[in-house]
Structure 1
Amino acid sequence: MSDRERTPETEQDGPSPETAANTALDFGRRGFMGAAVAGLGAAFGMGQVAADHGSDDPTIPEILNYALTLERLEAAYYRNALASSGGVFDETAVETSEVARYFDRPTLRYSTYQHFEDIRDHEVYHVAALESTLDSLGAAVTAPTADEFVLPDGVYDSVDSFVGFAQVVEDLGVSAYAGAAPYLAKAELEAQDGNVMDLQVTPIALGIHSIEARHAGYVRTLTLQRPWPFGTDDDVADVAVDDPRSMGEVLEVAGDYIDG
Structure 2
Amino acid sequence: MSDSSFSWSGALQRRTFLRVAGASAATASLVLAGCSDPVSEPVAVTQNVLRLGSGDSGLLNYLYLLKQLEAAFYQKVVDTPPSDFVAGDKAAFDDLRDHGLTHRETLRFVLGTGAYDVGFAQPLAFDFSTFVLTSRAGVLTAAQQLEDLSVAAYAGALPLVAAPATVALLAKIASVEARHAAFIRDLRTPGTFAGNDVVVNAGTLQSVSLAKTPVQVVDEAKAFFLPVVVAAETLPTA
Unaligned stretches of 5+ in structure 1?
1-5, 14-44, 50-57, 96-109, 189-195
CA contact (8 A) 2:153 2:213 kept: yes
CA contact (8 A) 1:65 1:142 kept: no
CA contact (8 A) 2:140 2:188 kept: yes
Q: 2:66 aligns with which of 70, 81, 88?
A: 70
TM superposition score normalised by structure 1: 0.60
Deviation at residue 202 of structure 1 after TM alignment: 2.2
Answer with 1 or 2: which has the greater Rg. 1
Over 3 Å counting, the alpha-carbon distance change for 1:229 and 1:48 in structure 2 is same
Partner of 1:89: 81
Deviation at residue 257 of structure 1 after TM alignment: 1.6
Count of residue pairs the alignment pairs up: 179
Partner of 2:209: 242
Counterpart Cα distance in 1 of 2:187 and 2:218 = 28
Q: Within the alignment, does 1:227 sit opposite 2:202 as a pair?
A: no
Partner of 2:224: 257
Deviation at residue 161 of structure 1 after TM alignment: 0.6
Q: How well do the aligned residues superpose, as a CA RMSD in angstroms?
A: 3.0
Deviation at residue 222 of structure 1 after TM alignment: 2.1
TM superposition score normalised by structure 2: 0.65
Q: Within the alignment, does 1:47 sit opposite 2:39 as a pair?
A: no
Q: Within the alignment, does 1:117 sit opposite 2:94 as a pair?
A: yes
List aligned pairs for 1:185-196, cutoff 5 A: 186=162, 188=163, 196=164
Over 3 Å counting, the alpha-carbon distance change for 1:248 and 1:75 in structure 2 is same
> 2:129 is paired with a residue of what secondary structure?
coil
Deviation at residue 88 of structure 1 after TM alignment: 0.8
Deviation at residue 242 of structure 1 after TM alignment: 1.8
Partner of 1:208: 173
Counterpart Cα distance in 2 of 1:170 and 1:64 = 18
Over 3 Å counting, the alpha-carbon distance change for 1:79 and 1:254 in structure 2 is closer
CA contact (8 A) 2:81 2:90 kept: no
Deviation at residue 152 of structure 1 after TM alignment: 2.6
Q: Deviations over 1:122-141 (max 9, x none)?
A: 00111100000001xx4132
In terms of fraction of residues, the more helix-rich structure is 1
List aligned pairs for 1:25-64, cutoff 5 A: 46-48=50-52, 58-64=54-60
Deviation at residue 11 of structure 1 after TM alignment: 5.0
Counterpart Cα distance in 2 of 1:115 and 1:254 = 24
Counterpart Cα distance in 2 of 1:125 and 1:203 = 17
In terms of fraction of residues, the more strand-rich structure is 2
